[in-house]
Structures are given as structure tokens and as C-alpha cells.
Structure 1
């Protein structure tokens, strides 16, 4: 019983540090894009300046069996791009690079 109490005290003491560790110095989550980034991407899709991610994922699924793991946005050769992590049935992870404006796959990095 003393062990459980000690563990509970240690966990309670560690929680504030864990919660702070999730955010970088700019107060954006370190686990993915900040909310503003997602809102900007949605606005770009609504305004027709960017292809929807669902279109990109469907394009990848047609050519490569597997499942979507994660997506980030950045630039590639000076253009906005989606970086899509994709796991194949044999466990290989491929990062597809898609032009965010057209949705076309413009590169890939197999790992």
C-alpha cells in the first residue's frame, strides 16, 4: 500500500512538467501543427488555393496499398506541400510529398 501511495505522489509531482513539455516556446503544441495552421489550411481549401487532403490521400491509396499515419504541411522547392506518412502492409513507412495546390504527388521518400 505504501508503494501505491509513493507512486501516486511521484505521478502527481511529474504531471505539471509533462503538461509543460507538450508546448514549445511559442506555446504551440509540439505534437503537431498549431490550431492556426489547421485553420489556415482549411481556409486555403475553401478558397480553392489548396487541394483537400482527402484528395491527396485517395490518390496515394490508389497507387500504394497501406494506411495513412500522419500529415504535415511545409514547403518543397518553394511551393506549399503536404508531407504524408504512409505505412505499407509490409511495415515500410513512405513519406509522400504532394503539391498542396494541385494535390499531385511530386516526390516520395521510402524509409
Structure 2
């Protein structure tokens, strides 16, 4: 019975917790993220290839996308993109 009460309490807490902010279209504002679709379009315009994976983290104390991108020749590059402005701020590999 105690397990059931704990499970119910956990589900209730999860259901009432605030959802994380989602990336939105339009110009970025303080604390908002550039839409991932726009970030991927920017990378594709600069470097033909395909998107493999994206993770979130920090770069220089700011939120950042780490976009894993496969180039046309098969090499893999990780683009570091400022999550608020959508600007590419670094590149690793490739």
C-alpha cells in the first residue's frame, strides 16, 4: 500500500510540475531559445550534410546547442550554436 501511495505522489508531482520553456519562432528574446529548425537551416546553408543529433549544454556560460552533423564525405562535425541567438560560435572535429 505504501508503494502505491508513493507512486501516486510521484505521478501527481510530475503532472503538476511546470513544463520547460520551448523554443519558439521569431526573434530571440532574453532567456528564449532560437528554434532548432532555424539552427539546422543555418548549418545546412553553410555546410551540406545531414543532422545526426543535438544536445543542449553551455558554452562560455551561455546555453548552447551541440549539433552533430555528418558532412557529405562522411566526416562528423559538432557545431556549437548559441541557443539564444542561433549563431554558430564554434566547431569541433571534421
Larger Rg belongs to: 1
Secondary structure, in 3 states, of the residue corresponding to 1:102?
coil
Residue in structure 2 matching 1:62, options 5, 28, 45: 45
**Runs in 1 of length 4+ with deviation above 6 angstroms?**
none
Q: CA RMSD in A?
A: 1.6
Match of 1:101 in 2: 84
Q: Which residue of 1 aligns with 2:23?
A: 45
Aligned-pair CA distance for 1:44: 4.1
Name structure 2 gaps, 5 residues minimum. Answer: 1-18
> Higher helix share goes to which structure?
1
- TM-score by length of structure 1 reads 0.60
- Normalised to the residue count of structure 2, the TM-score between the two structures is 0.70
3-state DSSP of counterpart to 2:23: helix
Q: Structure 1: any 5+ residue segments left out of the alignment?
A: 1-38
Residue of structure 1 equivalent to 2:62 = 79
Of Structure 1 and Structure 2, the greater strand share is in 2
- Alignment partners' CA distance in 2, 1:67 and 1:51: 19
2: distance between equivalents of 1:63 and 1:69? 16
Total equivalences in the alignment: 71
